[in-house]
Structure 1
Amino acid sequence: MMLKELFKSKGVKQKWLANKIGVSEVTVSNWVMKKTEPSLKNYQKISEVLGVPLKELME
């Protein structure tokens, strides 16, 4: 799933997610722009915070 679409569907901002999972806003921005990928640990945090199955996030 594309993070940008996920943020839009959940009504959240990159800054909010960054604060919730303990990374910088730039890090989240890089994930959204596909410059980098979240680590498995960060995928797990995103999954928990946004209530999205881990498998779906990693597709």
Structure 2
Amino acid sequence: MNKIKDVLEAKGIKQIWLAEQLGKSYNMVNSYVQNRRQPSLETLFEISKILKVEVKALIKED
């Protein structure tokens, strides 16, 4: 499980913008945000770089 949705909301960033930055479709990013699919570690690190947060801020520790 991830907290991408929480970070996007806290920063006021739209999923479509993140999708453009990642070079992925909106549907793919939406599936990450809704936790229907988990990004690869490589993608997770790329998201953290784009959002300027630590990777651990994107991961639920449950």
Q: Where in structure 1 do 4 or more consecutive aligned residues deviate above 2 Å?
A: none
What's the TM-score once normalised by structure 2's chain length? 0.84
Number of corresponding residues: 59
Which segments of 5 or more consecutive residues in structure 2 lack a partner in the other structure? none
Gaps of 5+ in 1: none
The answer (yes or no) to whether the contact 1:43–1:58 under 8 Å persists in 2 is no
Give the structure 2 partner of residue 35 of structure 1. 36
RMSD between aligned residues: 1.2
Amino acid aligned to 2:45: Q
- The structure, 1 or 2, with the larger RCO (C-alpha pairs under 8 Å, 6+ apart) is 2
Residue 5 of structure 1 is matched in structure 2 by 6
Q: Which amino acid aligns with 1:3?
A: I
TM, length-normalised to structure 1? 0.88
